Amino acid sequence: MIADGARRLGGLSGWRRLALAFLAGAVAIIAFPPVSIVPALWLSFPILIWLLDGCSTRGEAAVTGWAFGLGHFTTSFYWITNAFYVDSETFGVFAIPAVAGLSAAFSLYTALVCAVTHTILPPSRDDLPDDRILVTTLRIILFGATWTIVEWLRGWILTGFPWNPVATVWSETMTPFGLPVLQSVPLIGTYGLSLLTVLAAAAPAVLAHRPRLPRAWGAAAAPVLLLAAIAIGGGVRLALTETKHIPGTKFRLVQASIPQADKGRPSLWEAHLREHIQLSTDNRPADVTHVIWGEAAVHFFLNVDEQHRRIAAEAAPKGGMLITGADRGTRDEAGNLQVYNSLYALTSRGDVVAEYDKSHLVPFGEYLPLRWLIPFEKLTGGMGDFGAGPGPTTLDLRGLPPFSPQICYEIIFSGAVTARDSEHGRPEWLLNLTNDAWFGFSMGPYQHYAAARLRAVEEGIPVVRVANSGISAVIDGTGRTVAELGLGERGALDAPLPRPAAAFTPFGFMGNIIPLALAVLAGGGALRRWRRYVIENIDNPFRGGRYHL
């Protein structure tokens, strides 16, 4: 039955093949948070492999991969349209074209994956009756390796947007095996777990060839069994790792849940500041040492506006601090204003003891990459671009362990959330300030939250996440949620700071060298075995004659 279905899918051509590829890519998104039906990948990826089996040229394979990517990225990025509708009169008309264009551009990545996969030619329907399992297995390995490398590239090309790597499907703690499987990322990183997941999800495609053979079932089951072993090992690690807290440190996370349309109205900025102060001080336990507000919680330039800086400092506990997101404005010698999306640490007297400027800016939201071609304003308002900070840093503040600040989507960049050569050493926690109110009640905030969990487990250190509209949370170094305020909730969350889960992790030490090396070894090994296979069969007119180097 599987073999018959696979043959029919492989025989599709034209718009039918592309339509099914688009649908398979779209279905894959339900494996990601917040839906998290992970087995959906075991449907999407085999369908794509079978469709690629019917492609006779690399160009056909690339177009099929592009259609798959279009379905996947359209459903993965749809939530971005909400940002355009915050000011619908100005930007609403651009919402669908912008997301469609972004999805079409990102689909070139999956087109590249499928074009490379076609380097190992698809198994023939008429020859190689004993070796189709081998050929398909090699294609799957090359597919998974290339997919992993391309996921990493998405984090760098054109400043990068590594949204939803496949490993994200394990970041929803409500799924029974999610958190145990996630315990592999301190060793192999997010992209290493993506490699294993893609291989496991695509492996059933081998069952299209001689499905009754133990060899076929072995090839299909091997990566799944590896994931199962990882889950068992991860479960043991979780059972043996207790969440311990740092004594004398307790946070109040403030989630004001102010609608984004209101945040953009200057007439309400004073009221928003007072609202944050009220949430910070009402019924606050005496042992709270630090209050934390989200990204852009304050709309005044706190570096020069002493009046509003002292008002904001009313939220800080005595002897403690307020850490908040706010813009920072400076002027150059010519008097031109430069604005930064920043983090401030304030004492209860209103003194600024630390600042951090966001370094990884959001294209079209905080700067226009093609400003000379695009004359309209960026989504955050104003014709000028935000300035970029110098990059990851470690802040060492009185009464707190050293930490690495991350503003908004800086937290999604695997291997780029800590300063490797900081004078303060390795940070002991990550602080992520964000404002996901731009994206409403959509998948976006949940997937952003999932990325923060991945960074916590990769680095083995807790993440404190404060979001204007949610999800605000404290996550320990194993990915467990210590405390959480849900999406759209208004309130304050009091929580201690967990200790790091490990003194260091292999990933924290070596970064993405580990998963990239695994992908290169896997893909290179598949190509070498394919080359040997071709050489062994090239002279046989009945087997392999259609294959060539």
CB-based contact 461:428 (threshold 8 Å): yes
- Which CATH fold would you assign to the domain 245-500? Nitrilase/N-carbamoyl-D-aminoacid amidohydrolase (3.60.110)
Residue-wise pLDDT for 366-392, tens only, equals 766 655 455 555 555 544 678 888 889
- CA–CA distances in Å: residue 240 to residues 108, 233, 234, 236, 416: 44, 11, 10, 6, 29
| Residue 320, both tokens | 């403690």
| 270 carries an active-site annotation | no
Q: Alpha-carbon distance 70 to 63, whole Å?
A: 10
Q: Alpha-carbon distance 356 to 345, whole Å?
A: 9
Annotated catalytic residue within 250, 263, 408, 484: 408
Q: Alpha-carbon distance 467 to 439, whole Å?
A: 12
CB-based contact 68:47 (threshold 8 Å): no
Q: Report the pLDDT value the prediction gives residue 544, as an integer from 0 to 100.
A: 45
Q: Alpha-carbon distance 131 to 547, whole Å?
A: 13
Report residue 405: phi and psi, to 5°: -80, 145
Annotated catalytic residue within 60, 295, 410, 458: 295
CA-wise closest residue to 130 among 34, 220, 216: 216
Q: Report the pLDDT value the prediction gives residue 158, as an integer from 0 to 100.
A: 80
Q: Alpha-carbon distance 452 to 182, whole Å?
A: 13
Print the SS3 string covering 396-441: CCCCCCCEEEEEHHHHHCCCCCCCCCCCCCCCCEEEEEECHHHHCC
**Sole residue written with tokens 């487990």:** 457
Residue numbers in the chain where pLDDT is lower than 50: 125-129, 372, 382-383, 541-549
CA-wise closest residue to 142 among 179, 165, 114: 114
**Sole residue written with tokens 């490797």:** 420
User: What residue segments make up the domains of the chain, in order of their start?
Assistant: 2-239+510-537, 245-500
Q: Report the pLDDT value the prediction gives residue 92, as an integer from 0 to 100.
A: 84
Q: Report the pLDDT value the prediction gives residue 334, as an integer from 0 to 100.
A: 81
CA-wise closest residue to 25 among 59, 76, 63: 76
| 295 carries an active-site annotation | yes
**Which segments within 486-538 are labelled E, that is strand?**
491-498
The per-residue DSSP string of 344-399 comes to: EEEETT--EEEEEE--SPPBTTTB-TTTTT--SPPTTSSSSPEE-------B--TT
List Cβ neighbours of 320 (8 Å cut-off, separation of 6 or more). Answer: 288, 289, 290, 291, 348, 399
Q: Alpha-carbon distance 441 to 487, whole Å?
A: 7
Q: Which three-class secondary structure state does DSSP give residue 285?
A: coil
| 151 carries an active-site annotation | no
Annotated catalytic residue within 114, 151, 172, 358: 358
Residue-wise pLDDT for 465-505, tens only, equals 999 998 999 999 999 999 999 999 999 999 999 999 888 89
| Residue 503, both tokens | 């003194």
Q: Report the pLDDT value the prediction gives residue 548, as an integer from 0 to 100.
A: 46
CB-based contact 421:372 (threshold 8 Å): no
